[in-house]
Structure 1
Amino acid sequence: MSRLAELQRDLQSAAVAVAHAERTLATHPNVPSVLATLRTIQNHRASLEEQFFAAADEFGLDACGYRIELEGHTASIAGLTAVLGTFQKIFTTVYDALENGPKKTAKNSAETIEATTLGFAYTFPGSVGVMMTLANDRMLFEAKLDNAMGKTFDLIRANDSEELQYLSEVVGIPAVRLVHQWAEENVKAGFGADIVWRRDDVVKREVRVQAPEIAQKAAIIRAMRAHETAVVVGELLDVDILEHTFRMKVSDRIIQGTFDGAITSKKPAQLPKTYQATLQIMQKVVADESGHEQIDYFLVGLESPPGPPVFLTDLSDHDS
């Protein structure tokens, strides 16, 4: 990896040289030699970057460039570290969901974190941004990591409730919550984002979102209610035929909700009794200011359990 480290150092030095040449040009805008010097340094840096991408590919590394877009103001360290850190969490959570199924919380295993950790390579000259690398085994993990990064870019690009709802079913509510956190951090800092996922000279995915688009995304997710269908086994405790409400013990918690045709005079239910229940679950993606998570349950149907009470879907707050 010595060649890669050498190129990283050269790129950092080139970035400093570009910045110095740009300041000199600003002071002496009408001196042709100053402009020529800047162009020479920029071309040298571009050549170094091409060499870096090629060397990274040889070592089994893909590259992810994350550039902050600013509108007439400087970037704070707090804002920069916040959005980069949350971007990493989104990618890790999406990868985990695609590998192991969507979860109720954004808790990831040490193996998942190790597989998805982005490493720092170098900064960009003339703008705020970083180039990061990720080990992407061409035989074992390539399709998995590419798919996860693709879905991460889809989440960042999506700006309507229907697409975000679809993505929440694929990658889970925790990933969408992290996208909301990322959006709010960008709104607070006044950032846009230009992110590129590449291997050598091939750009595999790219997404660019400006500050107003990110603010719109934050508002959409804040108002969003995700829905899913779950099959559980639990003890039906109470039914109100007039109000069309029910209470059921599932695992270690009591859930309550509504129903329509699941329980009628022609389809009576016994109390208390263990059933296999099909539920439609509606959940506010972003909790209110008190931290309360609003979850609504609609009972679609009841059946006798296929065997001993085994929970097919865990509705508790713990990961399966």
Structure 2
Amino acid sequence: MSRMRAILDRINDVESTILKIEQAQSGTPTLATELSLRSLEGRRENLTAELSEITRTGLIDVCDYKIIPDSLHSYAISAVTAALHDFQDLVSIVFASLVSGPRRSAKISADVAQKTEFGFGFAYSGSLGVVLTIPNDRLIGGMESELDRAVSEVFALLRIRNSKAVNEAATRLGVPVVKKLHHWTKTHSQYGMSADIKWTREEEIRDRVVAQSREMELIYKLIEESDKRISDPIELTGELVAWSVPRRTFVLTFPDSPPISGHWSKTFNGQAQRKVPSRYRARLTKETLVRYGDGDIETWTLDELIDMVDTD
């Protein structure tokens, strides 16, 4: 790994020198400048070949993340770092979804974080390119590893073109994946940054996605238009602390969680007298409006209330 780091640092130095020479040019380059650039480009090719051999023997894959601006303005550091951070998070969350099922939370285990953590390789000129490295399993017959599948899924998310695909992704991979996709594509769009991302092994491009900033805009706006409702029946035991017959409302409190308030369901039997405060077992329906581009909205409906005194 130390040898790879040394080569990556040399490539980074070469790229920096090339960029400085190109930026210092004014008008037609001199013969000396052209010869210097050719020499540096040859050096870069040799180092890249060495890197390819090291990644082959070290079972390491490379992700080439190129950001292409829509204008000649400089890059906003906050936008570049946010985009790379979102990409890392998205690969990790999708990986966890493929391993253990659709995610209900964006939190990942230490094991998943370790298996999906990209290392910085080097940056290069020509728009803004960042080369990332990561260890990856080699399976018999060239089959895809779990990491390969996760990256392919992330690339596929950038090809979403309708609300149906948004909701299918949320069902298959989990709502946190779609929320992270929303933040990632919105950052690219609002800062006018297109992306050309390649997943390579040795010198082979195994997968690639190119997304224009306007395509990123389409995706994040589709996500914002694809909110959906989820209904979950839940049974809880708590203390009834507020009860209004005219308004058909209730409030339940619990020792270790926030209180719940809401309305009676249409079929709820409100004729029986209720003691306040008193302990009850409640059968409720939790309605969640999942807003992919914003915070979710929860509402509670009371379906049945059972006095715990009668059941003790």
**Cα deviation 1:229-283 (Å, max 9, x = unaligned):** 87x5648xxxxxxxxxxx9x9x9886989x9xxx9xxxxxxx99999x9x99763
Are the equivalent residues in 1 in contact too, given 2:288–2:297 (CA < 8 A)?
A: no
Residues 296 and 152 from structure 1, CA distance in 2 versus in 1: closer, same or farther, beyond 3 angstroms?
Answer: farther
- Please, which moves more after superposition, 149-158 or 47-56? 47-56
- Please, which moves more after superposition, 134-143 or 6-15? 134-143
- Secondary structure class of the residue paired with 2:158: helix
Are the equivalent residues in 2 in contact too, given 1:11–1:45 (CA < 8 A)?
A: yes
C-alpha deviation, 1:296, in angstroms: 7.9
Residues 297 and 74 from structure 1, CA distance in 2 versus in 1: closer, same or farther, beyond 3 angstroms?
Answer: same
- Secondary structure class of the residue paired with 2:72: coil
Residues 296 and 192 from structure 1, CA distance in 2 versus in 1: closer, same or farther, beyond 3 angstroms?
Answer: farther
Matched, 1:62 2:69: no
- Please, which moves more after superposition, 65-74 or 154-163? 154-163
Give the TM-score, by structure 2 length: 0.74
Give the TM-score, by structure 1 length: 0.72
Q: 2:183 aligns with which of 158, 165, 181?
A: 181
The separation in 1 between residues aligned to 2:109 and 2:57, in whole angstroms, is: 28
Counterpart of 2:133, as a letter, is T
Matched, 1:206 2:205: no
Are the equivalent residues in 1 in contact too, given 2:185–2:219 (CA < 8 A)?
A: yes
The separation in 2 between residues aligned to 1:171 and 1:83, in whole angstroms, is: 20
Counterpart of 1:176, as a letter, is V
- Greater Rg by CA: 2
The separation in 2 between residues aligned to 1:149 and 1:205, in whole angstroms, is: 8
Q: 1:223 aligns with which of 222, 225, 233?
A: 225
Residues 283 and 20 from structure 1, CA distance in 2 versus in 1: closer, same or farther, beyond 3 angstroms?
Answer: closer
**Cα deviation 1:79-138 (Å, max 9, x = unaligned):** 111111111111111111111222322111111111111111111133322111111122
- Secondary structure class of the residue paired with 1:99: helix
- Secondary structure class of the residue paired with 1:27: coil
The separation in 2 between residues aligned to 1:197 and 1:36, in whole angstroms, is: 32
The separation in 2 between residues aligned to 1:131 and 1:38, in whole angstroms, is: 21
* Root mean square deviation of aligned Cα: 4.0
Name the residue aligned to 2:49: 50
Name the residue aligned to 2:34: 35
- Please, which moves more after superposition, 219-228 or 203-212? 219-228
Name the residue aligned to 1:306: none
- Secondary structure class of the residue paired with 2:75: coil
- Secondary structure class of the residue paired with 1:123: strand
Q: How does 1:105-144 map to 2 (within 5 A)?
A: 105-138=105-138, 143-144=145-146
**Cα deviation 1:183-240 (Å, max 9, x = unaligned):** 222233221111111111111111111111112222111121246687x5648xxxxx
C-alpha deviation, 1:139, in angstroms: 5.1
Are the equivalent residues in 2 in contact too, given 1:157–1:208 (CA < 8 A)?
A: no
Are the equivalent residues in 2 in contact too, given 1:180–1:218 (CA < 8 A)?
A: yes
Q: 1:293 aligns with which of 292, 296, 299?
A: 296
Name the residue aligned to 1:283: 290
Name the residue aligned to 2:305: none
Name the residue aligned to 1:169: 171
- Please, which moves more after superposition, 132-141 or 90-99? 132-141
The separation in 2 between residues aligned to 1:296 and 1:213, in whole angstroms, is: 34
The separation in 2 between residues aligned to 1:33 and 1:67, in whole angstroms, is: 30
Aligned residues: 283
Are the equivalent residues in 1 in contact too, given 2:289–2:296 (CA < 8 A)?
A: no
Q: How does 1:294-309 map to 2 (within 5 A)?
A: 294=297
Residues 53 and 229 from structure 1, CA distance in 2 versus in 1: closer, same or farther, beyond 3 angstroms?
Answer: farther
The separation in 1 between residues aligned to 2:291 and 2:57, in whole angstroms, is: 45
The separation in 1 between residues aligned to 2:59 and 2:192, in whole angstroms, is: 35
Residues 38 and 91 from structure 1, CA distance in 2 versus in 1: closer, same or farther, beyond 3 angstroms?
Answer: same
Q: How does 1:94-109 map to 2 (within 5 A)?
A: 94-109=94-109
Are the equivalent residues in 1 in contact too, given 2:288–2:296 (CA < 8 A)?
A: no
The separation in 1 between residues aligned to 2:144 and 2:230, in whole angstroms, is: 30
Name the residue aligned to 1:305: none
Identical positions, percent: 23
Residues 28 and 94 from structure 1, CA distance in 2 versus in 1: closer, same or farther, beyond 3 angstroms?
Answer: same
Counterpart of 1:10, as a letter, is R
**Cα deviation 1:121-174 (Å, max 9, x = unaligned):** 111133322111111122599621111111111112323222222111111110
